[in-house]
Structure 1
Amino acid sequence: MSVTFAQTETPEDEARHGANFAATRVPFRRIYVVANPNSGQNSRTREPIEAALKVFGDEAKLYRWEPDHEVSETVDRAIADGAELIVAAGGDGTVMAVAQAMLGKGVPMAVLPLGTFNFYARGLRFSEDATEAAQQILKGETREIQVGSVDGRVFLNNASLGIYPKILKAREAIYARWGRHRMVAYWSVIRTFLKFQKPMKVDFQTEDLADTRATPLIFVARSAYQLDFFGLRGARAITDDKFAVLIAKGENRMQLFRLAWRLVTRQVREGRDYDVLRCREFTVGLRGKRRALLAFDGEKARMESPFAFRMHPDLLTIVLPEEKEQEAA
């Protein structure tokens, strides 16, 4: 059942990642937490996970997937063990990986935000305090949503091509030296822009349009919250179960720095700084390149061009905070 939002809805009200199916309240007892293998190695992640497990009760369990195994193996084991709810504990990359494994399984999924930005959890209006988030999960409602995919690979917030995947690559090296902090992440943006040479030449196609552009960045969004966070247009496309495809404008370093400053100060403007396409299908190919680095919810992978963005045919069942909490937020 599709729900149409009134025109008075704000982007914050729309920040539900396309969650436009009827919500259902279901009590959970066997709540199994799936965590990144690196989680729990220090108090920053170990203590929040332990706090959440206490809230979830005696039947809660913790599963960590091994670095040399697929997360789907861990998720399947948890489901086979009788999980009534799988909780992805980590940042956006961990949540994305668990969501990929959960599609079509018929078991609900929730999010315990332990990452640097936690865009997905914040978009669903979960607290970044582990104890509070766990309590929200216990009182939450299940809802079926559609998620985005590129060549079959799932993403929840965004996927991108161009300068942003390069920023993530630079960020990894900076994180390794200085630790995972938001200010360190912002420095990786500046560092990457300083190395910028020229925009990509791309051919793209939607259900209604075919064109060729030169652009430093293509940003395919499925998170209204993230768009609003940066002052970008396109939030209504998310609630219509579409992508908001942002095609950035900028052909040199100076133009990119202006764009970055406008993003930070929330002064970006559609038409001047970027164009927006609202579509359910988006295919883009690179001129002169067979492979390119793509980013998905903070992770990255090198893939073959052209890239086909589609709504995944399987639904994801997620837990949202109950409605009265959202109205009070």
Structure 2
Amino acid sequence: MTATPTLAHETKQHHSSVINPIKVDPAAPLFIVLNASSGNDEAVTVRETIETVLKQAGREFELFLVTHSETITNVARDTVRRARESNGVVVAAGGDGTINAVVQATLGSGCPLGVIAQGTFNYFGRTHNLPEDTAQATRVLLSTLAYPIQVGFVNDRVFLVNASLGLYPQLLEDREIYKRKLGRNRWVAWISGLYTVLRYHRQLNLTIEHKGNISTLLTPTLFVGNNRLQLEQIGIEETSIADRGELTAIAIRPVNTLTMIGLGLRGALGQLGEAEHVLCFSFSSIVVKPALFGRKLIKVATDGEITYLRTPIEFRAADQALYLLQPAPADVK
């Protein structure tokens, strides 16, 4: 990639007070979006647990069920509207897709956000000290402190953990197919990932624009991270700027299949940042587009959700923070 130095650190000043929380009214009503579209017993148990904890605490709340996944955007928007009218708190209860839909609707509304995370890897919840146990996570909603967190955008779509192009979205898509056939466990995820790497031979020929400078990049994948924990786990040094108005881009130079498998192992061992074939830089905003004309749509993954977005693709850190209810520091073990 040429002109990489032009993509150096560029911290925004408005994030300098990122650790300062806001006070939340302890009587503010909670407006909860719960994804029950799977229709299984687990969703029923989660609902009963949430209702029991909040009723015991005497907290006013309304619970909005998502019974069909395609309706989640409308449910989230309606929930945020009701929360604004009542000076309430918006709550997302579900996996990454549910959380992202609620964040998309909440950002810019002025409403604090609560999260009861049900995702598999749960990088977002672990980063912000949110309990995995449903009852404990529900009690965090009673907190009176909401801390600002950084949100990323790819075009007009939000992401909290990562967004990517190329090999990584294909890997996620293949993994879901294998999990539906063989079940959800680490071995299935590892085997499906190996299968994707062995058969994936496409390269992204990209141009990247940053602050008026244009560089070129040939890579099988472009990964943009917005989560300190995930970046640390794969061994990327740019975690020092996470949540300070910047995102971290990771790309791999064109390599053979065996080297690609080796890079995957290095990432699993937390040593990806030391690999010579890996390019890494931080930024607040970049525009990415295929170098070849005619390609209008490109596959994009945002926090595990696959979609197609129209080019050019812009990655950026949101100008405004989202305020998240978190455990008080004394409650974090």
CA deviation string 1:11-45 (max 9, x = no partner):
xxxxxxxx815202322452232122425x22333
In structure 2, the residue matched to 1:320 is 326
Q: Match for residue 62 of structure 1?
A: 63
Q: In 1, distance between residues paired with 2:27 and 2:126?
A: 22
- Looking at secondary structure, tell me which structure has more helix per residue: 2
Partner amino acid for 1:33? Answer: I
Distance 1:151 1:239 in 2: 19
Alignment of 1:19-34 (within 5 A): 20-26=18-24, 27-34=26-33
Deviations 1:219-269, CA, capped at 9 Å, x for gaps: 111111111122222112223210111112342211110011111122223
Question: Is 2:43 the counterpart of 1:45?
Answer: yes
Q: Which amino acid aligns with 1:35?
A: L
2-side partners of 1:183 and 1:111: how far apart?
Answer: 29
Change beyond 3 A, Cα 1:63–1:169: same
TM-score of the pair, normalised by structure 1: 0.86
Q: 1:273 offset after TM fit, Å?
A: 3.9
CA distance in 2 between counterparts of 1:62 and 1:248 reads 44
Other-structure match for 1:297: 303
* Aligned-pair CA distance for 1:295: 0.4
Cα distance in 1 for residues equivalent to 2:187 and 2:65: 29
- Structure 1 residues 137-193: Cα deviation after superposition (integer angstroms, max 9, x where no partner): 323521233411111111111110110100121122123223444443333311211
Find the residue that maps to 1:321 and give its secondary structure: coil
Counterpart mapping for 1:1-329 below 5 A: 20-26=18-24, 27-39=26-38, 41-57=39-55, 59-65=60-66, 66-77=68-79, 79-80=81-82, 82=86, 84-139=88-143, 141-207=145-211, 209-270=213-274, 272-288=276-292, 289-326=295-332, 329=333
**SS, match of residue 38 in structure 1:** coil
More deviation, 255-264/241-250: 241-250
1:260 to 1:206, Cα distance in 2 relative to 1, 3 A: same
Q: Percent identity?
A: 28
Whether contact under 8 Å (2:33, 2:75) holds in the other structure is no
| 2:118 partner amino acid | L
The residue matched to 1:266 in structure 2 has which SS? Answer: coil
Pair 1:126–1:29, CA change in 2 (3 A)? same
With over 3 angstroms needed to count, the CA separation of the structure-2 counterparts of 1:3 and 1:211, relative to structure 1, is closer
Q: CA RMSD in A?
A: 2.4
The whole-number CA distance in structure 2 between the counterparts of 1:89 and 1:243 is: 26
Partner SS state of residue 64, structure 1: strand
Please state how far the C-alpha of 1:56 moved relative to its aligned partner: 2.1
Q: Sort the Cα spacing of 1:283 and 1:45 in 2 relative to 1 into closer, same or farther, 3 A.
A: same
* Deviation sequence 1:190-210 (CA, Å, 0-9, x none): 121121113222111223753
Query: 5+ residue gaps in structure 1?
Result: 5-18
Deviating more after overlay: 315-324 vs 297-306: 315-324
Q: Residues of 2 paired with 1:273 and 1:84: CA distance?
A: 49
Is the contact made by 2:91 and 2:116 (CA closer than 8 Å) also made in structure 1?
yes
